[in-house]
Structure 1
Amino acid sequence: MKSLLLNTIKIAALLLVMGLSSCEKYLDIVPKGKKIPTTLADFDALLRDEYGNQRMDITQAILLLNDKFETASNLSYYKLYNANYNWDENADRIAFNNSDEGTYYNAYTAISTSNLIITNAGSATESSDADRKQLIAQAKILRALNYFVLANYYADTYEEATAAGKLSVPLILSADIGAAYTQVSIKELYDFMLKDITEALPDLRAQGATILHANIGSAYALAARIHLQMGQYAQALSAANEALKQNDKLYDWTEFYNKYKTQIEAPDQYVNAPSPMGYDFVENYSFRHGGRQYSSTEVNIRTDRATRFEQGDARFASRWKLRTVGADTYFKSITTGFYNYGGFTTTEVYLIKAECQARQNDISGAMNTLNAVRVKRILPQYYTALSATTVQDAVKLIQRTKGNELILGITPFADMRRLNKDPDYARTLTKTENGVSLSLSPASHLWTMPFPQGAIKNPGNGTITQNVNK
């Protein structure tokens, strides 16, 4: 396997220094211009490295969902893009995945940094014991979050009956180059993620040093997400409620829309309003970038994807606007700034809670929780409180809102994968592309991404088995 620290470890001597069993093995000579971390601040600098450790590239999942508009030139140039975007069952995505490795190596970069901190920050100087424990706990949450992305990208979704018998992804517990690892089962990986969270919670605080640092709320939000993915609704509901005790604020997108209404509604005007979804977003438990970590606009949205938003959705209308350029018509991004695609927000936790309430037959409670989110999104002239009479109807309404609210993050992809295993909720995606009708079956192998060729051809001190045939 490639060096997992290649893109993130800016203190190069760490590769040789960390993870050793005794102080006698530390380097006697520090490479010129480099520094061996000794203080807590040194280790903390690694955790908050936004380019290396605080971004989450899930491009292929977004393309598969058709949650963005992709240009014909990109589809022509990037064969893997085209295979996923146009649901080509015959494409050899393994052969195509020789350069699109961002998801895999970004995640394992952050995991490697987490491993380094977990192993070594306990002896950091210029800090209290509580501060050292907190940083180690934050690294465990970061590690578990990245394993969740990997598990729901490169392996089958969790099913209790089969999880112990199917392979997931490599479980790597060391930052050392050449460290041994095992490609564990799906069940083993999920158990490990929950273990990391359980161990971390006692040492976390209500607030971290920055919004990049995990806190109590983000740990419970991650636990709720994982338990929901496992179909453990009581545990997910309990964790969601604990997260909401830490923060239950919801941003009012109707107010944002009214504030910028003139420029949003002006014909042929695409002046960018500031994104409210950045570091100081009121809904944040913790923040993490998507594939990019610099201030920018969002991706553009397909016109058929836009139809799945509710009428009067101020959140959608505040972020995208219909535009035609040449032969292309799409919804163009009209905000600029930063976007919390990879962290945790109260909206996700509210909607996890709503689904868990519905699954446990508290349908009215589920609808109340769902409507608490919707009333902050749907413009008053369009808003009507939703109701449901069956669990299935309630879950479908919740998922409609959740898929729209969390668009461009990993959650809609993970949700659809788990729901596709249930005939009550499985859904075939359809579209028309260049006059051709296309569809994506709930049972398609395309829902699992192939490991990149770099990982397969250079596995290091372990073995990796592809989880798909193409």
Structure 2
Amino acid sequence: MKTTYIKISLLSLFSMTAIVASCSKLLDEKPNQSITTINTLKDLQGVLRQPNMISFGGLVNIGADQYVHSNSAYSTMAINFQNAYRWDKDALFDIWSGAYRGIYAANLVLTEMERIKEGTEFERNDLRGQALFFRAFSLYQLTQVYCRPYGPDAQTALGLPLRLTPNVEEKISRASLQETYNKIIGDTKEAIGLLPLRNIAINLPGKISCYGFLAKMYLSMREYSEAEKYSSLYLAESPQLLDYNTLDTLANPSIPRINLESTFDAGMTSVSTNAVVTANPILIQSYHTNDLRKKVLFMINADGSAVFKGSYFRSVSNQGYCGIATDEVYLIRSECLVRLNRIEDGLKDLNYLLVRRWKTNRFTPVQTTSKEDAIQILINERNKELIFRGTRWSDLRRLNEDGANISLSRTINGVTYNLPAKDNRWIWLIPAEVINLSGIQQNER
């Protein structure tokens, strides 16, 4: 029996119906695309290597505080961007479909591999590991937007619909947050046992990128021993960092497209429909004069405003990056070591990173014996290093779970909009079409 795979447009169609109970109306639409028959592992690899297989909407960046819009820039934005920018209680912004497109593709590969028996053990393991990772990675991105932060109530808090087959007609409700995180971790750990250390392309995962992903996962869960464990496994295999002294700070971009720090390449859409994204002046002012990141990551205009140019995403220099990179893993391990009362070891990692970000012979190593001071320094450095990586939103959410009580505010046309620390708007609404078609529970407002 042959299985038919309809290219890009049908995957997009499935992504819109990824959790629906009845999607016959949508499935009746006939895409005007070629049809390829899946009969080989090469065909299945093609499913996972489609453009934007892992590319997410920028909600995790839109809600955070790393950028600002002028009144004039705000007025030219699409309505959904405006609503998200001011954290409107009814703001609807769809990254659900893109993520579930990746989940559908991964499920298709995992299912069809049971039918297709060709290939060596290495080839089959590699392909299965890729699919498991892509599914886990997509689910993780969704948790940072549509679920509450991981905490003691994870057993009862709402997670995601765990769709594990390509059958879009199957009715699935939202799992608990604990079940969702368990699935993400389980898939990734299984992938580690299947994948090569590095893969043949930067947009395909290997063991190293799985280690880095688990370090991110466990940090978001505030499980610091596990996050330290996987960050150390990563850094044992991929410790190299860029020395910003070797980069052309006047170039756009300054970050080379072939970037030795990026071990898994994945991008996010911009935080605006405008081409130019202006950094938050408070962030720009936080860089020391000798800190090269200010000029490597931003173009500084005559008026002092700064435009982002420093994405690690290899395709677009001003687009968000949500892949796995070594600089972030050093910061993860550094924070975990400090939180585990190994302050000196944690600051050693931080200083190893920062000396490669400052002008040669101008950096004074960070020193403190205060755990609280060290943590605050690390949070500030994460904000300065990981620009438009989606990490700032996740950091603020997890810090508030620990009682940091961080609120955000924006002023637009003289009106100030606030996002208090305990507000439900730290969890975005699931797109209305998904709710209407599937009947799954919407997030509270």
TM-score per shorter chain, which class?
A: 0.7 to 0.9
* 1:451 equivalent among 402, 406, 430: 430
Question: What percentage of aligned pairs have identical amino acids?
Answer: 23
Aligned residue pairs: how many?
Answer: 414
Return the offset for 1:376: 1.0
Q: Say whether 1:392 aligns with 2:391.
A: no
- Following the alignment from structure 1 to structure 2, what is the Cα–Cα distance between the partners of residues 285 and 117? 23
Task: Indicate if the aligned counterparts of 2:7 and 2:36 stay in contact, CA closer than 8 A.
Answer: no
Return the offset for 1:92: 3.7
Question: Bigger shift: 379-388 or 75-84?
Answer: 75-84
Q: Which residue of 2 aligns with 1:344?
A: 324
Return the offset for 1:416: 1.2
- Following the alignment from structure 1 to structure 2, what is the Cα–Cα distance between the partners of residues 322 and 432? 23
Q: Which residue of 1 aligns with 2:67?
A: 68
Structure 1 letter corresponding to 2:442 = Q
* 1:131 equivalent among 123, 126, 151: 123
Q: Which residue of 1 aligns with 2:28?
A: none
- Following the alignment from structure 1 to structure 2, what is the Cα–Cα distance between the partners of residues 322 and 74? 18
- Following the alignment from structure 2 to structure 1, what is the Cα–Cα distance between the partners of residues 433 and 344? 50
Structure 2 letter corresponding to 1:67 = Q
* 2:172 equivalent among 181, 185, 188: 181
Q: Say whether 1:361 aligns with 2:335.
A: no
Q: Which residue of 2 aligns with 1:145?
A: 137
Structure 1's unaligned 5+ residue stretches are 14-30, 265-270
Q: Which residue of 1 aligns with 2:394?
A: 414
* 1:466 equivalent among 436, 442, 445: 442
- Following the alignment from structure 2 to structure 1, what is the Cα–Cα distance between the partners of residues 282 and 86? 14
Q: Which residue of 2 aligns with 1:287?
A: 265
Task: Indicate if the aligned counterparts of 2:61 and 2:392 stay in contact, CA closer than 8 A.
Answer: no
Task: Indicate if the aligned counterparts of 1:311 and 1:382 stay in contact, CA closer than 8 A.
Answer: no
Q: Say whether 1:208 aligns with 2:199.
A: yes
- Following the alignment from structure 2 to structure 1, what is the Cα–Cα distance between the partners of residues 359 and 145? 35
- Following the alignment from structure 1 to structure 2, what is the Cα–Cα distance between the partners of residues 468 and 223? 29
Distance 1:6 1:418, change over 3 A: farther
- Following the alignment from structure 2 to structure 1, what is the Cα–Cα distance between the partners of residues 246 and 46? 37
SS of 1:321's partner is strand
Q: Which residue of 2 aligns with 1:316?
A: 294
Runs of 4+ in structure 1 off by over 4 angstroms are 5-13, 334-337, 430-439
- Following the alignment from structure 1 to structure 2, what is the Cα–Cα distance between the partners of residues 207 and 176? 31
Q: Which residue of 2 aligns with 1:49?
A: 50
Q: Map of 1:189-228 to 2, 5 A cutoff? A: 189-228=180-219
Task: Indicate if the aligned counterparts of 2:65 and 2:408 stay in contact, CA closer than 8 A.
Answer: no
SS of 1:194's partner is helix
Query: What TM-score, normalized by structure 2, do the two folds share?
Result: 0.85
Structure 1 letter corresponding to 2:41 = L
Return the offset for 1:179: 2.2
- Following the alignment from structure 1 to structure 2, what is the Cα–Cα distance between the partners of residues 245 and 124? 36
- Following the alignment from structure 2 to structure 1, what is the Cα–Cα distance between the partners of residues 431 and 11? 24
Structure 2's unaligned 5+ residue stretches are 1-5, 15-31
Q: Say whether 1:330 aligns with 2:305.
A: yes
Structure 2 letter corresponding to 1:164 = Q
- Following the alignment from structure 2 to structure 1, what is the Cα–Cα distance between the partners of residues 116 and 255? 37
Task: Indicate if the aligned counterparts of 1:8 and 1:110 stay in contact, CA closer than 8 A.
Answer: no
- Following the alignment from structure 1 to structure 2, what is the Cα–Cα distance between the partners of residues 421 and 399? 15
Q: Which residue of 2 aligns with 1:38?
A: 39
Q: Say whether 1:156 aligns with 2:148.
A: yes
Task: Indicate if the aligned counterparts of 1:46 and 1:113 stay in contact, CA closer than 8 A.
Answer: yes
Return the offset for 1:194: 0.8
Distance 1:274 1:50, change over 3 A: farther
Structure 1 letter corresponding to 2:423 = S
Deviations 1:192-240 (A, max 9, x none): 1111012111111112121111101111111111111112111111111
Task: Indicate if the aligned counterparts of 1:69 and 1:301 stay in contact, CA closer than 8 A.
Answer: yes
